[in-house]
Amino acid sequence: MEDLTKDLETGFITELDRYLYNNGRHYEIYEKLGAHPKTYNGKQGMYFAVWAPHASQVGVVGDFNGWNPDLNPMVPLADSGIWEVFVPEVGPGQLYKYSVTTSSGKILFKADPYAFYAEFRPQTASITYDLSAYTWKDQAWVKEREKQDPLSGPVSIYEVHLGSWKRKNREDKEGFYTYKEAAHELAEYIKDMGYTHIELLGIAEHPYDGSWGYQVTGYYAPTSRYGTPDEFMYFVDTMHQNGIGVILDWVPAHFPKDAHGLSEFDGEACYEYADPRKGEHPDWGTKVFDYSKYEVCNFLIANALYWVEKYHVDGLRVDAVASMLYLDYGRDQGDWVKNCGGGNENLEAIEFFKHLNSMVKKRGKGAVVIAEESTAWPKVTDQPENSGLGFTFKWNMGWMHDFLEYMKLDPYFRKYNHHKMTFGLTYFTSEKYILVLSHDEVVHLKGSMINKMPGLLEDKFSNLKLGYTFMLGHPGKKLLFMGQDFGQFHEWDEKDSLDWYLAREPLGENLLDYVRDLLHLYRKYPALYDNDYVWKGFSWINANDNEHSIFSFIRHGKGSQNSLLFVLNFTPVKRPEYRVGVPKQGKYTLVLDTSHGLYEKDKTALVYKSEKTPWDGQDNSIAYPLPAYGAAIFCF
């Protein structure tokens, strides 16, 4: 065994590997820890390595040794907390776990934190897997992505939970679409609709469907619910070949207490903080990663790079950022620990984010990192050298809250809440925002998007079309959860498919057609995306017509690009000759309205010539028949 250890130290995990890992700088550590096909002394087999610094003994068990902890003991590598062993005649596709003997003598059976594949739940074993077989065909996409600036490009995201987007009537794996099956249908749908990206909930392996993938046990394993790692590569590859970016939800904030997972991995606090006042989330019943440990930060940062480099994903949406930044998040007075300066900021998590985002920017070839951060923490999307966290984008949760509160109101009361729609335009340059209407807003008795709208059935659809038009015009990238583009009535339920028949009903089909028109309009006119984060990209025409609940504003393009004038009526009252000021003389072409959709489809666009009638503080104006719940977009 000593000879084996010496040889492995010089061949597999080297002294340099250990140094980098123990100092949080081994960005390919997943190539060393975990299970890897190797040849040793002329024999093919599998090399296993795991970090378990408090263990008194570790072994690898599996279907290849009858799950016997005594048959394949692992050897500790000096001063590293890493254990290793080579097991001959073990190949890809075999089940395994680690048998971890704690300092008290108890034996724990743990899944591999670095496993590339895992059993279909409720089974919990890891599966040996070789990631090197897949041949990618998306080189053109990746090369082009590296040259693009995501801040000045169009980003319209379709948020999807694969297990409930669609299901098939079959018994295997409860009718889930496989990655391969979903790839083609989703790519066709997304291309037709005009979204630029897809964002996937819950791809990393997780034991409980009801967590939606936000309580992870296999950070390096695409969930086996939908297929193999190669099949997930095929999914991403297919999206890229169809011009669609792929964003994954990623959860570095916390992990569940399942016995086979990371919780007390070697019998003590290993991946989590030891003090429960820092190491447990009382709201969620989960463990909090210990960002003071280099090995834990290395595990997470290498994982982010793993998804970008091995699976070619275009971005990560980081879940629950606020819970990481604040030591008192979700905790009562006296149940949290202040930082060294007496504050509530988690200084270790702050440094983790700066490190993470710097490395993704450096190595990610244009991949983005998005913060789901629900507070007013400053400089989330500013660079670390400017005391920022370094994220590419931040979800605009404040806009989402105000927008939905306004849209839910009976139109009579909207004039008293006009500020809810204008407030977001006072701070849109403070961060690089994405406007989101996400899955979180259509669960837990919050109601689906269509059922948030006031009025009778047709009023609801009219309101939703109007609301989506305002969202399109508001500066910031866009995200919409699946089903809300055709008026899904039921709240989202991860156990059931969307009600796709609604997309064939007249009102649902009309809404879907309209959202498609909005998305194609968005991609056609750079004024809607290339000046998202500067004041010159937006100007009000009239922000103060609260009596009529009408908003009018302009999105400005760069240089000689076309600008777009938006006029939106949030009441059921028609305005036959609604006059709106315009910034210059000339022709204003109606390119889209809520009654007709996109005019260019049938070449019937109407042109309005400005009049020298001062209005809204402008020298010129146009008059337009604005319908009830009507919106119009003019190009000039």
What residues form DSSP beta bridges with 75?
84
pLDDT value, residue 602: 74
Nearest by Cα to 499 from 171, 184, 189, 166: 166
What share of the chain has pLDDT > 70, as a percent? 98
Phi first, then psi: what are they for 304, rounded to 5°?
-60, -45
Model confidence at 594, in pLDDT bands (50, 70, 90)? very high
What share of the chain has pLDDT > 90, as a percent? 94
- The bridge status of strand 197-200 relative to strand 156-160 is parallel
- Output DSSP code: residue 321: H
The Cβ of residue 604 has, within 10 Å, a number of other Cβ atoms equal to 9
- The bridge status of strand 126-127 relative to strand 95-101 is antiparallel
Strand ranges (E), 419-549: 433-437, 477-481, 538-545
- The bridge status of strand 315-318 relative to strand 368-371 is parallel
CB contact at 8 A, 414 and 549: yes
The model's pLDDT over 551-572, given as tens digits with 9 standing for 90+, comes to: 999 999 998 789 999 999 999 9
174 noted as active-site residue: no
The residue length of the chain stands at 636
pLDDT value, residue 9: 43
Q: Which range, of 160-164, 165-169, 360-364, 503-507, averages the lowest pLDDT?
A: 165-169
Q: Is 236 helix (H, G, I), strand (E, B) or coil?
A: helix
Q: Is 604 helix (H, G, I), strand (E, B) or coil?
A: coil
The model's pLDDT over 204-262, given as tens digits with 9 standing for 90+, comes to: 999 999 999 999 999 999 999 999 999 999 999 999 999 999 999 999 999 999 999 99
CB contact at 8 A, 22 and 62: no
Alpha carbon separation from 400 to 34, 79, 200, 276 (Å, rounded): 41, 50, 20, 33
- pLDDT at residue 600 greater than cutoff 90: no
Q: What is the distance between the alpha carbons of residues 367 and 398, in angstroms, rounded to a whole number? A: 25
Model confidence at 603, in pLDDT bands (50, 70, 90)? confident
- Output DSSP code: residue 586: S
Please give the model's pTM, rounded to 2 decimal places.
0.95
What residues form DSSP beta bridges with 459?
none
As a whole number, mean pLDDT of residues 108-116 equals: 98
Catalytic position from the list 272, 319, 593, 616: 319
Q: What is the distance between the alpha carbons of residues 505 and 434, in angstroms, rounded to a whole number? A: 31
Place of tokens 């995501």: 150
As a whole number, mean pLDDT of residues 440-465 equals: 96
**379: Cβ–Cβ under 8 A, 6 or more apart, which residues?**
386, 387, 388, 389
What residues form DSSP beta bridges with 272?
289
- pLDDT at residue 8 greater than cutoff 70: no
pLDDT value, residue 60: 98
As a whole number, mean pLDDT of residues 35-50 equals: 94
Q: What is the distance between the alpha carbons of residues 566 and 631, in angstroms, rounded to a whole number? A: 7
Nearest by Cα to 312 from 106, 131, 570: 131
As a whole number, mean pLDDT of residues 465-480 equals: 98
Average pLDDT, the chain: 95
Place of tokens 């992990």: 255
Distance of CA 380 to the CA centre of its chain: 16
Model confidence at 6, in pLDDT bands (50, 70, 90)? very low
- The bridge status of strand 538-545 relative to strand 477-481 is unpaired
CA count, 13 A, side-chain hemisphere, 69: 11
- Output DSSP code: residue 58: E
**512: Cβ–Cβ under 8 A, 6 or more apart, which residues?**
193, 485, 486, 487, 503
As a whole number, mean pLDDT of residues 469-486 equals: 98
DSSP string, 514-540: HHHHHHHHHHH-GGGTTTTTSGGGEEE
- pLDDT at residue 4 greater than cutoff 60: no
**258: Cβ–Cβ under 8 A, 6 or more apart, which residues?**
124, 207, 217
pLDDT value, residue 157: 98
345 noted as active-site residue: no
The Cβ of residue 536 has, within 10 Å, a number of other Cβ atoms equal to 9
Catalytic position from the list 199, 372, 402, 440: 372
CA count, 13 A, side-chain hemisphere, 421: 31
pLDDT value, residue 173: 78
Token duo for residue 132:
């090197």
Alpha carbon separation from 32 to 8, 107, 118 (Å, rounded): 11, 24, 18
Model confidence at 11, in pLDDT bands (50, 70, 90)? low
Q: Which residue segments constitute the domains of the chain, with CATH numbers given?
A: 2-110 (2.60.40.10), 154-395 (3.20.20.80), 536-635 (2.60.40.1180)
Q: Which helix (H) or strand (E) holds 218?
A: strand 218-222
Nearest by Cα to 290 from 261, 320, 263, 308: 263
As a whole number, mean pLDDT of residues 158-162 equals: 98
Helices (H) and strands (E) in the chain, counts: 16, 30
Per the omega criterion (within 30 degrees of 0), is the bond before 53 cis?
no
